[in-house]
Amino acid sequence: MSLAVVGISLSAPLTTLLAAPVLALAFWRNAAGAAVLLPVLLMRERRALAGLGAADLRTSALAGLFLAAHFAAWLPSLSMTTVAASTALVTTTPVWTALVARASGVRLPAAVWWGLVLAVAGVVLIAGVDVRVSLRALAGDGLALLGAICAAGYVLAGARARQRLSTSAYAVVCYSTCAVVVALAAAVVGDPLVGFTARDWLLIAAITVCAQLFGHTLLNLVLSAVGPTVVSLVVLLEVPGALLFALVLLQQVPPLLALPGVALVVAGVALVVRAGRPSTLVEAAT
C-alpha cells in the first residue's frame, strides 16, 4: 500500500510536467492497460470470454465512457489550478457514490452526512480562495469536481459489471472503450496522439507505470486482504503525497488559505468512507 500511495501521488505532478496533450496521456495510459491485460484474458481466462453477454459488454463499455469523461475533465484541471486543490477535489468520488446510494433509497448513517458537510465546506473554501486567484483556477476546481462525479459513474458501472465478469475481462473492455473514446475526442479537437519529444514519452511511460502498475494494480492486489474501506482511506493519502511531490518537482506552493479547505475535503471524504463502507454503498447504488 505504501508503494501504491507513492505511485498515485506522483501521477498528478508528473502530468503537470507533460507538454503533450492530456488526451494523449489518457489514450496511451488506457491502451497500455488493455494491452497488458489482454494476454492474461486470452491465455488464463478464456472461459470468461465465453460468458460475456451483451449486457456485460454494455455495462463495461459504460464504465469506459465514464472513465474517459473523468480523464477529459480532471487532467486539464491540473494545469488550471494547483495540484493540491485538483487532487483533493477529484478524491470526492465517495461523496458522489454516497449521494447516489441515498437517491436509490439507502439510509445513510449520521456520520456520512457529517462527512458530506465537511467535504462541501472544504470545496467551498477551496473555490473561495481560487476565485480570488483567477477565474481559470476556479474553472480548474470545477473540472476536478466534474472528474470526481464521472469517476463515481465509473465506479458504479464497474461494480455492476464485475458482479459477473472477471477483473481482466471487465478491464480490457473498459480500458479499450476509454481509449477509443479518448482517441475520437482527440481527433475532434485536433490533439495528436504521437509525435512527442522523448521527454514526453518518458513522462507518459512513468505516469502509466506509477498510476497503473504501482498504483491501482497494487491496491487491487491488496483489496481482498485489507478490505475496501482501508483501501479507500489509503487512497486519500494521495492528496498530501501529491502536494509534497508538487512542492519538490514543481516548486508549487498552494495558497495557504486553501490548505484548510484541502484538509476539510480529505477529512470529510474519510468520514464518508469509514462510516458508509464503500462496498455497501456501491452495491446498494447499483
What is the tally of structural domains in the chain? 1
- For 108, counting Cβ atoms within 10 Å of its Cβ (0-12 exposed, 13-18 middle, 19+ buried), the class is middle
CA atoms within 13 A on the CB side of 272: 29
215: how many CB neighbours lie within 10 A of its CB?
A: 24
Task: Give the side-chain half-sphere CA count within 13 A for 18.
Answer: 28
Q: How far apart are CA 23 and CA 17, in angstroms?
A: 14
Q: Residue 103 burial (CB < 10 Å; 0-12/13-18/19+)?
A: exposed
Is 66 within 8 Å of 151 (Cβ atoms)?
yes
Q: Name 78's Cβ contacts closer than 8 Å, sequence gap at least 6.
A: 12, 15, 16, 22, 86, 140
Residue 284 has a pLDDT of: 45
- CA gyration radius, the chain: 18
- Which residue's entry shows cell 480532471? 74
pLDDT tens-digit readout, 171-190: 889 999 999 999 999 999 99
Terminal-residue alpha carbon distance, the chain: 27
Can you tell me which residue has the cell 465546506? 121
Mean pLDDT, residues 260-266: 93
Could you tell me the pLDDT band of residue 57, with boundaries at 50, 70 and 90?
confident
**C-alpha–C-alpha distance, residues 8 and 3, integer Å:** 9
pLDDT band at residue 285 under the 50/70/90 scheme: very low
Residue 278, pLDDT above cutoff 60: no
C-alpha to C-alpha distances, 57 to 29, 30, 161, 211, nearest whole angstrom = 21, 17, 8, 25
Cα 219 from Cα 212, distance rounded (Å) = 10
Span 206-261, pLDDT tens digits: 999 898 778 877 776 676 677 667 777 888 899 999 999 999 999 998 888 899 99
Over 50: is that where the pLDDT of 286 sits? no
**Residue 220 has which C-alpha cell?**
487491487
One-letter amino acid at 156 equals L
Burial 167-183 (b: 16+ CB within 10 A, else e): bbbbbbbbbbbbbbbbb
Q: What is the pTM of this model?
A: 0.89
**Euclidean distance between CA atoms 123 and 81, whole angstroms:** 13
207 close to 15: Cβ distance less than 8 angstroms: yes
Tens digit of each residue's pLDDT (9 = 90 or more) over 83-114? 999 999 999 999 998 898 888 888 888 988 99
Positive or negative, the Cα torsion across 129, 17, 179, 157?
Answer: negative
Which grid coordinates are listed for 152?
Answer: 463515481
For residue 175, report the phi and psi dihedrals to the nearest 5 degrees.
-65, -40
- Which structural domain, as residue segments, surrounds residue 223? 2-285
